């Protein structure tokens, strides 16, 4: 997939076109491989590349004059493979629907077979070496017979990669493994054929530390075979865990329907989803998946969107309502007109956001990559130094060799390369399941620093729709009757306040009668006849024109409603005032809980709105916010964010409208409501698909927990190498134990990351 962006030159005046491409990289076996590919690509003029070891992908930005073929050639020259992407298709690719799984499963199966054979052959070799009681005459030759296939065939991927890297003047983790196992195997061959180790009756003791022995009598077949088996086990567990880590994204991509019933010439025709075009009308029966984003043109139903938004309650839809592809029709038959297809759908956009986040790197991982790039050559020097030092100090070739091999084996920096990508894959995948889209790893750093959260009012804290809040009936008037007559008249009006009253009246009083006559009085309200009553609904001035005054109790109710920022609507019939209805933008049910949760996370909430101060303060009180900034013009919201930043605050902004986009981009952390506009979603760092403010707190908690997992992974990976290298160099670790510990460190990092799948 390619795209084009623009970038300013150093002078800041000339826009230079930059294209982006994502390449699939093959042949990488560790973080050092990824660092080498990234380094080579970044050396090309104008090229910026990020290579991810866990996802085996490179995200590359390149200027005009550079072709994708040039990028591929550079990767190939480095000793790896790269695939040039196909042209963007009109509909989701096969791999976007999870159909690449068989290839990945085949690779996993091949690795599993290599592991099982190596384990089967290695176990007897290790037992014979570790348990002297099992040793019989010429046991060492049986060990050689069993160990040879493991070292030659089982470790072939390591040898092949080491050879390829050596041809390009590089060293990676595979270099360490290959040198270590071949050195142990080669020493053993020399001792068996040219030393004393091949004599009948030879016995071999086993210790976890280096011992002083005659080098010509020592064999290390158990180290060569055992290390190979342990590292293959680690590789297999890593590969399987990476498949699990990406499962959330694959599940997301597989949600879409595969075929659809399209209406053509009045008849239903079943076609593949790829053939859908904007404007096509298609049928969605109960239990079926909505094929693509669209608008309901016929029917009404409840739609289950839990797989996309995390919201468990189905949403009622009817003619004119928008529906999203991959949601499930839980009720009646719908006819939907397609508005977005293929790569433009919300599902495809969600998948791209998640994948982009997984392909990125946090600043902490960039440090780890830089260290990994120089780590392997340094380790080889340490191993040579260890060998020479032991020889000079002790003169014991066997002890020197054992310590040097242990250094090579235990130093593999694989865990460093997996620390960030696996946590990001699991964290972003889990976020997608909960309706939280994290745009990139740098967002995780921002969530840790934020101390102030600015909340847009309309559409974020409130629903953004007017609703009937309160009903005050005059003395002797039945509230249900008041709602029936007022609601019937307002139902005939298209004004948002009128519609709010009509909907609220229908919910509270049941079916509404049909007016016998209706008239809209511009700027004042409506009047008409309902069930023989002359009814007025609107401003107090409308009643005054008919010489009707509000009694004291209704006047007080009107004043109280307006003091809370609500719109007060007076109702009268047959020459008397009968009641007051209060209408306002309803506060979302979860907003108060969300504000409390944000406070528990150490954030200071601020309400920001263009509404008047009275309305803003009323909403703020209802949800527990103390700081209110009201009557702000849309273009001034950025200035408010900048002013808070100038006060030393690190600001998060939550919004949903076009007028929030600039403020979202200016804030240190932007959280965009997924129910809002595309502009706001593009500007935000985190997208809350469900549009529920409570999810904002969940998003920050998930981001912080993902960052903590990354840092924990890096700490243990660094700590492991720093602590283990001196132990190996001082002869306190057997090479086989070193191999097991190295494999365990990688498995620990991946397993620790997988704990994020349980985030709730």
Active site residues: 456
Spatial contact of 252 and 350, defined as CB atoms under 8 Å apart: yes
Q: Is 469 helix (H, G, I), strand (E, B) or coil?
A: strand
Please list the alpha-helical segments (H only) found in 131-172: 139-149, 156-167
- Give the whole-angstrom CA distance, residue 476 versus residue 488: 21
Q: What is the DSSP letter of 395?
A: -
Gap between the terminal Cα atoms of the chain: 33
Q: Is 460 helix (H, G, I), strand (E, B) or coil?
A: helix
What does the longest C-alpha to C-alpha distance in the chain come to?
123
Spatial contact of 381 and 456, defined as CB atoms under 8 Å apart: no
Residue 268 CB neighbours (<10 A):
11
Closest CA to 694 of 622, 608, 592, 619: 592
Integer-rounded Cα Rg, in Å, for the chain is: 34
Tokens of 29: 């076996």
Tokens of 191: 């001792």
Give the C-alpha distances (Å, rounded to integers) separating 314 from 282, 431, 495, 628, 675.
21, 20, 28, 34, 15
DSSP E strand boundaries for 659-740: 669-673, 686-688
Q: What angle do CA 262, 266, 269 make, to 5 degrees?
A: 30
Spatial contact of 195 and 220, defined as CB atoms under 8 Å apart: no
Closest CA to 737 of 749, 748, 726, 724: 724
Please list the alpha-helical segments (H only) found in 138-220: 139-149, 156-167, 173-194
> How would you classify the pairing of strands 604-608 and 576-587?
unpaired
Q: Is 657 helix (H, G, I), strand (E, B) or coil?
A: coil
């Amino acid at each position: 997939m390619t795209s084009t962006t623009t970038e300013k030159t150093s002078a800041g005046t000339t826009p230079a076109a930059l294209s982006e491409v994502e390449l699939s990289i093959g042949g990488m076996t560790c973080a050092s491989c990824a660092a080498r590919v990234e380094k080579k690509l970044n050396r090309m003029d104008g090229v910026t590349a990020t290579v991810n070891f866990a996802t085996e992908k490179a995200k590359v930005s390149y200027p005009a004059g550079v072709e994708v073929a040039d990028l591929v050639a550079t990767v190939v020259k480095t000793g790896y493979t790269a695939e040039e992407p196909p042209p963007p298709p009109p509909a989701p690719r096969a791999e976007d629907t999870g159909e690449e799984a068989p290839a990945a499963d085949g690779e996993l199966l091949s690795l599993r077979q290599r592991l099982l054979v190596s384990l089967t052959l290695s176990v007897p070799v290790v037992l014979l070496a570790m348990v002297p009681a099992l040793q019989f005459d010429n046991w060492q030759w049986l060990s050689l017979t069993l160990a040879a296939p493991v070292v030659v065939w089982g470790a072939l991927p390591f040898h092949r990669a080491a050879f390829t890297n050596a041809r390009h003047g590089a060293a990676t983790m595979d270099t360490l493994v290959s040198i270590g196992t071949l050195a142990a195997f080669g020493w053993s061959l020399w001792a068996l054929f040219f030393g004393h180790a091949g004599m009948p009756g030879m016995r071999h003791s086993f210790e976890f530390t280096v011992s002083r022995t005659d080098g010509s009598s020592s064999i290390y077949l158990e180290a060569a075979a055992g290390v190979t088996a342990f590292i293959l086990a680690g590789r297999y567990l890593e590969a399987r865990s990476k498949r699990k880590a990406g499962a959330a994204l694959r599940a997301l991509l597989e949600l879409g329907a595969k075929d659809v019933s399209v209406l053509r010439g009045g008849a239903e025709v079943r076609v593949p989803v790829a053939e859908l075009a904007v404007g096509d009308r298609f049928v969605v029966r109960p239990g079926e998946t909505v094929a693509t984003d669209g608008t309901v043109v016929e029917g009404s139903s409840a739609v289950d969107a839990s797989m996309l938004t995390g919201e468990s309650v189905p949403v009622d839809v009817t003619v004119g309502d928008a529906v999203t592809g991959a949601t499930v029709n839980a009720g009646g038959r719908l006819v939907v007109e397609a508005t977005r297809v293929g790569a433009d759908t919300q599902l495809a956009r969600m998948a791209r956001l998640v994948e982009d986040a997984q392909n990125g790197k946090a600043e902490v991982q960039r440090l780890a990559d830089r260290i990994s790039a120089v780590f392997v050559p340094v380790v080889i020097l340490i191993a040579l130094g260890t060998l020479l030092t032991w020889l000079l100090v002790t003169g014991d070739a066997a002890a020197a060799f054992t310590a040097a091999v242990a250094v090579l084996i235990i130093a593999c920096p694989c865990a460093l390369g997996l620390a960030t990508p696996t946590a990001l894959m699991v964290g972003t995948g889990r976020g997608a399941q909960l309706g939280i889209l994290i745009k990139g790893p740098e967002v995780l750093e921002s969530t840790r620093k934020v101390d102030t959260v600015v909340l847009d009012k309309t559409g974020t804290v409130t629903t953004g729709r007017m609703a009937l809040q309160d009903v005050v009936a005059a003395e002797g008037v039945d509230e249900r009757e008041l709602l029936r007559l007022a609601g019937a008249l307002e139902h005939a009006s298209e004004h948002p306040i009128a519609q709010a009253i009509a909907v609220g009246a229908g919910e509270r009083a049941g079916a509404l009668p049909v007016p016998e006559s209706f008239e809209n009085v511009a700027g004042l309200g409506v009047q008409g006849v309902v069930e023989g009553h002359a009814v007025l609904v609107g401003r107090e001035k409308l009643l005054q024109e008919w010489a009707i005054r509000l009694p004291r109790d209704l006047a007080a109710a009107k004043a109280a409603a307006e003091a809370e920022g609500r719109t007060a609507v007076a109702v009268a019939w047959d020459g008397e005032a009968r009641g007051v209805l209060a209408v306002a933008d309803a506060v979302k049910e979860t907003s108060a809980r969300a504000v409390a949760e944000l406070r528990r996370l150490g954030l200071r909430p601020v309400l920001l709105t263009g509404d008047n101060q009275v309305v803003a303060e009323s909403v703020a009180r209802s949800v527990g916010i103390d700081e209110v900034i009201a009557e702000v013009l849309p273009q001034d919201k950025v200035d408010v964010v900048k002013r808070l930043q100038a006060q030393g605050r690190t600001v998060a902004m939550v919004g949903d409208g076009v007028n929030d986009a600039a403020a979202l981009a200016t804030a240190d952390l932007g959280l965009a409501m997924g129910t809002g506009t595309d502009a706001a979603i593009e500007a935000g760092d985190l997208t809350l698909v469900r549009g529920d403010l409570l999810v904002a707190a969940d998003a920050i908690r998930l981001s912080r927990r993902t960052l903590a997992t990354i840092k924990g992974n890096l700490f243990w990976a660094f700590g492991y190498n720093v602590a283990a290298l001196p132990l190996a160099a001082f002869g306190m670790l057997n090479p086989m134990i070193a191999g097991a510990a190295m494999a365990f460190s990688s498995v620990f990092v991946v397993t620790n990351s997988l704990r994020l799948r349980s985030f709730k």
